[in-house]
Structure 1
């Protein structure tokens, strides 16, 4: 199971480190290794969030996530995206931006850093919306009941998440964006525009994937109702014929080519949603990587190896059913996302060390994991106690 899920990650790591050693020597090998660890530590909460979405998708789309998704993550977000940002902000052509990244690394680093307010505003608002939608949703399982219960009731107010996110964006634009160290000057307009773009992107991609997911659930409910209306006689005949006949009849009734189509569309938009989430998580990693190197190829290789492990970990969590066994993990990951969103908005003006960012996420997820373990032990103890009492009573 472990080798099957992480096999490609191990292979990419070995090949990547060997390539780094050949191209840049021991120093390059160390830099790529450090960047890989940095990416994993910063994005562990990303894996938990992705697993919550990926478990709704079939094996085919899980493979797409591990193949096409990795190419997008490594080459798209870690290599191409910073170059595109430089091309847009510096108003130069893509070829010129690539030449700059290769031959004038210091200026390239300066331009990417200058674009940080826009990147942080976009990613911060997008991640904040994920956190707020989770926080304002009523659910049966609560980790911090004293906080989640009243906020879940408040969530009945329409568009509350959007209002809070826009309020946070307005606060950031009128405080930390008025005198920015990265690039200098007043970045209020840039931050507002980028933040609104992040909000719109979340509403479009999340809304479309949610729409198709709801359609699938409705189709499944209609199927269940149709099966329930077949009559007791038909059901008894199917039961008598055996499970294979019953399964064949179920497939026949599902004649839901439409349901299959909807599932494909839903999975596609969920895949896009996952990629946008990954992009938002990668912003701080890409910016933070410049503290270690300004070579775009070392950066892409190191962060790419880390991204590969995050994807493998996501699939591992899905296949092991970890989120079902440790029910507070998703809570911890969403709180980590909320913290990262706030940190991104703060870093529009102030520098925050990546170690602090990574530790906050790790601590929150570790706390939620431990709370899940305690809950499982308590539930197991309750079941054992009930079973013992039942045996004693029946014995009497």
Structure 2
């Protein structure tokens, strides 16, 4: 199971470390290893959210995500995206940005850091919308009932997530941004991107029609509390495409912080691509592992922990517009929240095995509701 799921990641790790050794010697090898660990630590919550969406996609679109999606993640977001950002912000052509990256990496890193407020505003608002849509939604299982219940109650106010996110953006841009207009535009584009991609995914997922791509829709039970585009069928055709697009934009938003943080470790674009690319492979493999094992249905609070980690990352990205937030803090917050959610899930399962029935009082005295566990789609298991 482990070898079948992580086999490609192990192979890419070996090739990537060998390439790093040949390219930069022992120092290059060490830097690539550190960057790979950094990427994994910053993106574990990404794997949890990805798995929740991936289990609803048809076999075809799962394979697209695990093949073309990896190429986009490794080469697109970890190599071409920084070049594009530097080119846009410095008003340079892609060729000039490429030349700068390989001939003057320190200046290239400086240009990337100058562009960070714009990047953080876009990625931070996309992730903020994802987090707010989760916590403002009523759901059966509640990890932090003392907090999640009132949030779900006020979340009944229509478009509250947009109001809160826009207010946070205006506050940060008005008080801390050197270029208020640029940060506001980037933040609004992040919100619009989330609303558009998420909305299109929901529209086509709930349409319940065969889009004529040769795949039959497979009926599955609804998973209450599923994040992202939602519906009652395995997504094919247009629905599968928009779920794939949703995952790619989500991955991009998570990668912003890692790409910028990588420049604090190395300014060499090849070293950064190798290190972050290895980390991205493990995140993809971890996503598949979570789907195959049905981990999110067994440990029901993991999704909650991942979304609170996303909220923490979004806040850190917005704060970093004014002052740098060390990667150790953002990674530590995310890892800490997910570990806490996992341990809470283990305790919940132990209480149930010891005879506590669904609906029994939890440790806070509040009634807990536990829906029937729903297995994954089986598309990744060959079933």
TM-score, structure 1 normalization: 0.83
**Distance in 2 (alpha carbons) for counterparts of 1:164 and 1:40:** 30
Q: Secondary structure at the match of 1:109?
A: helix
Q: Which residue of 2 aligns with 1:239?
A: none
**Structure 2 residue aligned with 1:370:** 343
Q: Is there any run of 5+ residues in structure 1 with no aligned partner, and where?
A: 178-185, 225-258, 385-396
Q: 1:121 Cα shift? A: 0.3
**Higher Cα Rg, which structure:** 1
**Which of 305, 317, 322 is the aligned partner of 1:344?**
317
Q: 8 Å contact 2:58–2:235 — kept in the other structure? A: no
Partner of 1:301: 274
The alignment partner of 1:215 has SS state of: coil
Aligned residue pairs: how many? Answer: 341
Which residue is equivalent to 1:189?
A: 181
| Counterpart residue number, 1:73 | 73
| Structure 1 CA distance for aligned equivalents of residues 327 and 309 of structure 2 | 14
CA contact (8 A) 1:85 1:112 kept: yes
Tell me, yes or no, if structure 1 residue 160 matches structure 2 residue 144: no
Secondary structure of the 1:291 match is coil
Give, in whole Å, the separation in 2 of the partners of 1:14 and 1:51.
Answer: 25
Q: Deviations over 1:251-297 (max 9, x none)?
A: xxxxxxxx999722111101110010110000110111011100001
Counterpart position of 2:99 = 99
Counterpart Cα distance in 1 of 2:326 and 2:233: 46
In structure 1, C-alpha distance between the alignment counterparts of 2:18 and 2:59, rounded to whole Å: 31
Match status 1:213 vs 2:205? yes
Query: For residues 5 and 218 of structure 1, what CA distance do their matches in structure 2 show?
Result: 30
Structure 1 pair 260–288 and aligned structure 2 pair: CA distance change class (3 A):
closer
CA distance in 1, matches of 2:356, 2:233: 40
Q: Structure 1 residues 6 and 261, CA, compared in 2 at 3 Å: closer, same or farther?
A: closer
What residue number does 1:60 align with?
A: 60
- The equivalent position to 2:298 in structure 1, one of 322, 325, 347, is 325
Partner of residue 174, structure 1: 174
Residue correspondence of structure 1 range 169-318 to structure 2 within 5 A: 169-177=169-177, 186-216=178-208, 263-318=236-291
With 281-290 and 208-217 compared, the bigger mean Cα shift is at: 208-217
> Corresponding residue for 2:38?
38
**C-alpha deviations, 1:91-128, integer Å up to 9, x for none?**
11111110111101111111111000000000000000
Q: Provide structure 2 residue ranges, at least 5 long, that are not aligned to the other structure.
A: 221-231, 358-383
> 2:143 matched to which residue of 1?
143
What is the rounded CA distance, in whole Å, between the counterparts of 1:120 and 1:362 in structure 2?
Answer: 20
- Output the CA distance in 1 between the equivalents of 2:58 and 2:345: 27
CA distance in 1, matches of 2:155, 2:204: 22
Q: CA offset at residue 59 of structure 1?
A: 2.5
Q: Structure 1 residue 360: deviation in Å?
A: 0.3
Alpha-carbon separation, structure 2, partners of 1:136 and 1:156: 7
| Structure 2 CA distance for aligned equivalents of residues 279 and 216 of structure 1 | 29
Distance 1:23 1:374, change over 3 A: same
1:128–1:165 contact (8 Å) kept in structure 2 = yes
Name the counterpart of 1:48: 48
Task: Give the conservation status (yes or no) of the 8 Å contact 1:212–1:263.
Answer: no
Alignment-derived partner of residue 234 in structure 1:
none
| Equivalence for 1:112 | 112
Change (3 A) 1:262 1:15: closer
- The CA RMSD over aligned residues, in Å, is 2.1
Partner of 2:5: 5
Shift of residue 174, structure 1, vs aligned partner: 1.3
Residue 359 of structure 1: aligned partner:
332
Mapped to 1, the partners of 2:35 and 2:340 lie a distance apart of 25
- Give, in angstroms, the shift of residue 214 of structure 1: 1.7
1:293-319 per-residue CA deviation (whole Å, 9 max, x = no partner) reads 000010001000000000000010001
Distance 2:95 2:252 in 1: 23
Supply the distance in 2 between the matched residues of 1:291 and 1:265 (Cα, whole angstroms): 40
